[in-house]
Amino acid sequence: MYDTWVRIADNLVERVSGPMSLRLILQPTIATILAIRAGLKDAREGNPPYFWSVLTNPAHRAVMLRDGWKSIGKVFIAALVLDVAYQLIVERFVYPGEAIIVAIVLAILPYLILRGLVTRLARRG
């Protein structure tokens, strides 16, 4: 099991300087743009900050997750497909778990962090 985690860590670090490294900038940038748009919309509509509400408001959680997925889903799928392509080029094998980790880090994480932050900042302004 330890060897698996070491391989995953090594493979993730290698992605930074390997082929297709431009995607490591483009995908979070696209997720950021989508988060800003959604966060400003949330502020205009008086909705609470996104991630906090998903965690604390079970009554509206399904609707909010559906809305978030509609916004970020295509970027997540693109991140997944590009990482699989990267793995096929470099590793000549596909590690699905690594592809999911990379897609979450590049697409979903920036979106979750920034959407609520933008909502809070837009309400102050």
13-59 pLDDT per residue, tens: 888 887 888 888 989 999 999 999 999 999 999 999 988 889 998 99
User: What is the rounded CA–CA span in Å between residue 98 and residue 18?
Assistant: 15
**Nearest residue to 33 (alpha-carbon basis) of 118, 104, 123:** 118
First to last CA, the chain: 50
The pTM for the full model equals 0.83
All structural domains of the chain with their residue ranges? 22-124
